[in-house]
Every structure is written in C-alpha cells, then in structure tokens.
Chain A
Amino acid sequence: MELSTADLALIQALQAGLPLTRRPYAAIGESLGLTETAVLARLEQMMAAGVIKRFGVVVRHRALGYRANAMVVWDIPDNEVAELGHCLGRYAFVTLSYRRPRRPPHWPYNLFTMIHGQDRDAVREKLEMIVHQCDLQTVSHQVLFSTRCFRQRGACYNHTPPAWPLPPAADPPGGLVSIQHPV
C-alpha cells in the first residue's frame, strides 16, 4: 500500500495520541481538513494493509512497575536467525525481535530482543526460559539492562527542520568527547 500525503499527515497527527474527547476521530480530522468518515476509512485501510500493526492503548512499562528492561542481543548464524527470531518474538514478555546488521569488530550481534519484567531477576528468569525453550544455550549473547530513559514518545515522521539553530561543535577538536572508540 502506497501511503498518500493525507495518510502521512494522519499518522503524524496521531503520534501524540487520540484526543480524549467524545468524537476523537472527528477532532483529528478537523485539524487535517478530513471528515470523521474519511479518517476512520483511512485507518481501517492502513490496518488491513498492515501499515498499522495495532491500534490502541500504548502503555508505559516503567510507570506500570515493569522497571527492568533488557535489550538482549544475540550472535546467531545467518541461516538460523529468522527461525530463532520468530521463536523469540512469540513470547508475551518479549516486545521486539529484530534482525540488524553486525558491525565488526565492536558489534558482532545480529538479533535484538527486548524483555520487560518487574525487576532484574524476573527478566533473568524469563531469559533463562527462552534460552532453554528456543535452544539457545550455545549462542553468544549479551544483556543490556536500561538504567535511565531520557525520551520515549511516538515518532515524528513529517516535521519541518528544527526551529533552533544547531550549535557549532564547541569543544575542539572533534566535539564534546575526546575518546573516539569504544572499548
């Protein structure tokens, strides 16, 4: 499905969420010059085409007590990554399962999963379970717990350039940080 300019504008208008009013789709439409019927029809079409994975309440895990969040990254042979990615993506507590490129020498991992739990032990327990159930005992992996969240919001797809001027690279040479390579 090709997304029209109107679709993109609608998606953008919804990134902040539906207004909590009696006729939210009419309100969104009004801001875009679309009728309520047109808004609902476009959303149905984007759902049917799979552009929208789901439509509904997006919760904040942390605020709801799921304070432990681990990005678990795996170094999986290329010919097995799809099968294992699907295996991991099926668990209710796994909220993401993506293949991404390796970046040798510093980054050998090609599968990324996110596991949420109420505390770190809960996350480790779940991890142990999926390692066992998906047969991952011999696969090299790392667990990256998050410690602070500095931003979490819907994406901005269609913005104008930032209104503020970008600051010059003030700290010479090479910017803010002098250490160039990760350990």
Chain B
Amino acid sequence: MSAVGISPEIRLDALDRRLLNDYQQRFPLTPEPFRDLAGALDIPETEVLARLTRLQTAGLISRIGPVLRPHRAGVSTLAALAVPPECLDAVVTLVNQFVEVNHNYEREHPYNLWFVVTAPHADRLHQVLDEIERLSGLPVLNLPLEEDYFIDLGFELRWN
C-alpha cells in the first residue's frame, strides 16, 4: 500500500510562499478571484493560475475551497482499529474502498489505523462502520465529535 502526500522536493520562491500562506482564509468570493490575487501580488493572472496549478500538481495544495464546520453537511466520525501489523495493508485496502472514508492514517499506537468516515446521514455512517467491522473482524473504536473548540484560521507555514 503506497502512502500519499509525499511530493518530490520542489523549489518555492517568495510568491509561491505567499500563495500558500496568505489565502488560506478570505480567498476572494468574487467573479474573478485569481485576478484579485494577481493584483495583490503584482503579477499577471495567468501566472497566478500557472503557479497554483503547479503547487496543486506537486501535492502541496490539496484544494482551494471551503472548510466546513463539522456536522453541518452530513455526519462524520473518527474511528480507529487495532490492526495486527501483518494485516495492515489488507485492512487499509478494505477501509479505503469506502468512498465515505476521507482521511486514513497509520499511527504509532496499539490502535494503529485512524480514519474519518463522512456520510450523508447517520444510518449510512453506521452501515459503513458495521461493514468495516464485519469485513475486518476487528472491533471499531467509534469516536464521534461531541464539541469543537477549534477556530480554523488556516495553518501558519514557517519557512526556514
């Protein structure tokens, strides 16, 4: 099972860094948002688009879009499995076959596989968890969000 998210090193200049850092919130909700960025950065709109395309292709940008408050559209939960290491690849494949799984990480802990399940409604959510439990033969630790204390202001990138 190959891991995702590791990109070859790409060289970032000051403009790339600004594109990554400065527009994590308040991205313009205007008809031509990239033209607004171009104005702010004093470069042509075509260059903004080319740079963002490059950053996205390189895997540094996941997407430009909304980050939702949990549980406003659909329901979700954090779930964990304690998978014997020799079965991990097979269980990852099993878990990832569900389109409802949008995050899936291995962590150093007896509970070593952690994934987020998001579904349109609770019935489907529980169906997915039940299926994962049935197919893997492992009990699922189901840890739904009860309260959110985090104000998401984006992630502050520090450059060395």
Listed in ascending order, the chain A residues whose CB lies under 8 Å from chain B are 3, 7-8, 11, 14-18, 20-26, 36, 40, 43-44, 46-47, 50-64, 69, 71, 81-82, 85-86, 88-90, 92-101, 103, 106-107, 112, 116, 118, 142, 144-159, 162, 164, 166-167, 169, 171, 173-183
Mark B35-79 against chain A: 1 for CB-CB distance below 8 A, else 0. Answer: 100000000010001001100101111111111110011101010
A–B pairs, 18, beta carbons within 8 Å: A56-B23, A57-B23, A58-B61, A63-B6, A100-B146, A142-B109, A145-B108, A147-B106, A150-B3, A151-B4, A157-B74, A167-B135, A171-B137, A176-B90, A176-B94, A176-B138, A177-B83, A177-B84
Q: How far is the CA of A94 from the CA of B151 in the complex (A)?
A: 10
Q: How far is the CA of A59 from the CA of B157 in the complex (A)?
A: 9
Residues of A within 8 Å of B13, CB to CB, are: none
Complex: chain A residue closest to B35, CB-CB: A22
The answer to whether A182 touches B111 (Cβ under 8 A) is: yes
Contact count band on B: 35 or more
Q: How far is the CA of A75 from the CA of B157 in the complex (A)?
A: 30
Answer whether A150 and B87 are a contact pair too, CB < 8 Å, given A60-B59, A155-B76: no
Q: How far is the CA of A149 from the CA of B107 in the complex (A)?
A: 9
Q: Return B110 CB to nearest CB of chain A, in Å.
A: 5
Answer whether A16 and B152 are a contact pair too, CB < 8 Å, given A56-B27, A175-B138: no
Query: Which of B65, B78, B102, B120 contacts A100 (CB under 8 A)?
Result: B78
The answer to whether B99 touches A157 (Cβ under 8 A) is: no
Query: Which of B19, B25, B60, B95 contacts A63 (CB under 8 A)?
Result: B60
Q: Which of A25, A52, A182 has the most CB of B within 10 A?
A: A182
Q: How far is the CA of A118 from the CA of B160 in the complex (A)?
A: 10
Residues of B within 8 Å of A63, CB to CB, are: 5-7, 58-60
Residues of B within 8 Å of A17, CB to CB, are: 56, 61-65
Complex: chain B residue closest to A168, CB-CB: B135
Q: How many A-B residue pairs have CB under 8 A?
A: 310
Q: How far is the CA of A183 from the CA of B83 in the complex (A)?
A: 11
The answer to whether B65 touches A21 (Cβ under 8 A) is: no
For chain B residues 135-160, which have a beta carbon within 8 Å of chain A?
135-139, 141-157, 160
Listed in ascending order, the chain B residues whose CB lies under 8 Å from chain A are 1, 3-7, 19-20, 23-27, 29-35, 45, 49, 52-53, 56, 58-69, 72-74, 76, 78, 82-84, 87, 90-92, 94-111, 114-116, 118-120, 131, 134-139, 141-157, 160
The answer to whether A99 touches B153 (Cβ under 8 A) is: no
The answer to whether A182 touches B61 (Cβ under 8 A) is: no
The answer to whether B67 touches A53 (Cβ under 8 A) is: yes
Query: Which of B33, B106, B119, B144 contacts A150 (CB under 8 A)?
Result: B106
Answer whether A57 and B134 are a contact pair too, CB < 8 Å, given A51-B68, A88-B149: no
The answer to whether A177 touches B138 (Cβ under 8 A) is: yes
The answer to whether A59 touches B104 (Cβ under 8 A) is: no
Answer whether A99 and B29 are a contact pair too, CB < 8 Å, given A3-B72, A59-B24, A146-B105: no
